[in-house]
A and B are shown apart, each in its own frame.
Chain A
Amino acid sequence: MRHRLGQAGRAVLGAGLIVLAILPLLPAVSNATLFTLTLMLTSVGVAVNWNLTGGFTGYVDFGHAVWFGIGAYTTAILMSLQSNGPQIGWAPIPAIGLGALVAGVLAAAIGRITMRLKGPYFSIAMLGTFVAMREIVRVSGGLTGGGVGLTLPPYLNRPLFYYIQLVLVAALVTFTWWLRRTRFGSALVAIREDEIGAEMRGINTTRFKVTVFSLAGLSTGLFGGLWAYQNTFVDPDIAFVEVRTIDAVMGTMLGGLGTVAGPVVGTVALYWLREVLWANLLEYHLIVQGGLLIVIVLFIPRGLVGLVDRRGTSVATLWERWLRRRPAPEEKRDKP
């Protein structure tokens, strides 16, 4: 397809990547800074995944953080396995890997049901899935440690985690960039543009959207597992947090919905903004953040990427036009 991150964009991303890669080698950069950046990279990764379903496919998921929690919990359960006392926990890499897989498989199963719904119904059904899953984890005490949660063997190597996340996020962004250029990626956009038309033109919409949904779930599960390992403990209220979904939505909206670079740019900007707001506004910062969301949605629906890329044909403009459309039910109601 014709959309790509123009030359300048790619140069900026490349330069940014190099800076991020050599950052840990600088003496001025402490582990604490790396930790902050690692958390930011986690948010970027989750936002990129969210954008796969929310931005490309048009299915706005208000419960995406559920896959983060599933990945985190699977990893934690496997790593803290005990048999009559002694730890027989798994090594981190297979545990995190299986965590991602479990998240992906569950996403496929749940997506098959919830993706039959559209618009706000899908959004809220996913929010419900999220809340329900948190309670299921909470009441399954034997496996999950219930409300008390689970603790993992602490292993803290900030530069290592930082590099792992950096490589993962870079790979993920490259993957979405590539995916958007394949026919599969175009089919996702076709589903967003007109699902019935896409289905009638031979696109197995269920399979395509559930595939991308479970891919996003798998990838977010991976970030969840990594987070659990770094955080050294999980409980239902820190593994399943609404804020992770909200950050993904806000970051993507701020950067530009349905664009490859949008979630990256937006999430980084969001972190930056937050630091500024925190430092200067303290208790007002959430009020300002809520106001900012309103302003973004109403006045810069194309996001930061859209502001830079003013060409009318870019995918960055899709969102804006999409917003202008009437809600779907009314379009369809003039028949039979």
Chain B
Amino acid sequence: MTALLEARGVVKRFGGLTAVDQVDLSVGTGEMVGLIGPNGSGKTTLFDCLSRVLDIDAGSIGFNGADITRYRPHHVARLGMSRTFQLIRVYPELTVSENLELSIQWERMGMRGLFSRTDAATLRKVDSLLEFLQLARLRDERAGTLSGGQRRLLEIGMALMSEPKLVLLDEATSGVNPTLVADIADRLLEVNRNDGVAFLLVEHNVQFVADLCERVVVLNHGAKLAEGTPQQIMRDPAVIEAYFGAKAEGAT
């Protein structure tokens, strides 16, 4: 079976600094993969490369059967990849509902769809997503007035609006109320099981990753350090050395 996302030898440099160094990474259809690593290990940069926000200096990226190494981000989105951002990117001056309405599959709607108002089907979907994310009462609030956690949820909702095959979640739990974190995990699993959506998660919250993912990739200094099941990873001495350090016990 070919992987949904297949990155080979990805290199990204900023001036003299190599932020991502020869990383191979694959995500299968419907798979949930975690991407962890210490601060500054290049996780977000790798995300930016995979979602084509950044151009890569070497390597190739394949997605859904296409070589997307030179694609623009909206092409990637059309193929079924969506993402969230570590620094939340919502449209602050638009309402919550509008934010979701604008996160649809643009290429599929054609000129008529483009030059008309949001259709009823999309609005129904928006409402059900808002219900699902428990944001329904904030439907007509401006996104900029929401709390950090609420904006995270909104951003996840925006990533799910376009019926993606793969969602890249960058720190989906940071700033979110701990009681909500478990909720988010449940919902992600629900989407994963019901719709077969694959997830690639960058997380600080290792427990969250361990609960959700069958496979975890560890980055250190921009290079891949280890890969395996959460249990394997937690036992890997190199990972403990680099990532968990002396506080290995405490961290898990």
Contact = CB atoms under 8 A, between A and B. Distances in A.
Interface of A: 1-2, 179, 181-184, 186-187, 189-190, 193-194, 196-206, 312-313, 315, 317-318, 321-322, 331, 334-336
Contacts of B103: 201-202
Contacts of B105: 202
Given A184-B115, A186-B101, A336-B42, A321 B93 contact: yes
Interface in B40-93: 42, 44-45, 51, 53, 72-74, 76-78, 82-83, 85, 87, 89-93
A316 to B, nearest CB: 10
A183 B113 contact: yes
13 contacts: A1-B98, A2-B140, A183-B101, A184-B115, A186-B98, A187-B102, A187-B106, A194-B89, A197-B85, A197-B89, A200-B51, A201-B82, A204-B106
Contacts of B73: 196, 199-200
Nearest to A185: B115
Contact of B77 (A182, A189, A202): A202
A197 B48 CA distance: 12
A334 to B, nearest CB: 8
Interface string B112-134: 01111110000000000000000
A1 B93 contact: no
B147 to A, nearest CB: 17
B192 interface: no
B107 A202 contact: yes
A280 B42 CA distance: 65
Contacts of B14: 336
Contacts of B19: 336
A193 B92 CA distance: 7
Nearest to B91: A193
Contact of A315 (B74, B93, B109): B93
B148 interface: no
A206 B53 CA distance: 14
B248 to A, nearest CB: 27
Contacts of A334: 87
Contacts of B98: 1-2, 186
A199 B74 contact: yes
Contact of A200 (B83, B91, B101): B83
A2 B95 contact: yes
A1 to B, nearest CB: 6
B90 A194 contact: yes
Contacts of B78: 202
A187 to B, nearest CB: 6
A317 B94 CA distance: 11
A197 B102 CA distance: 11
Nearest to A202: B77
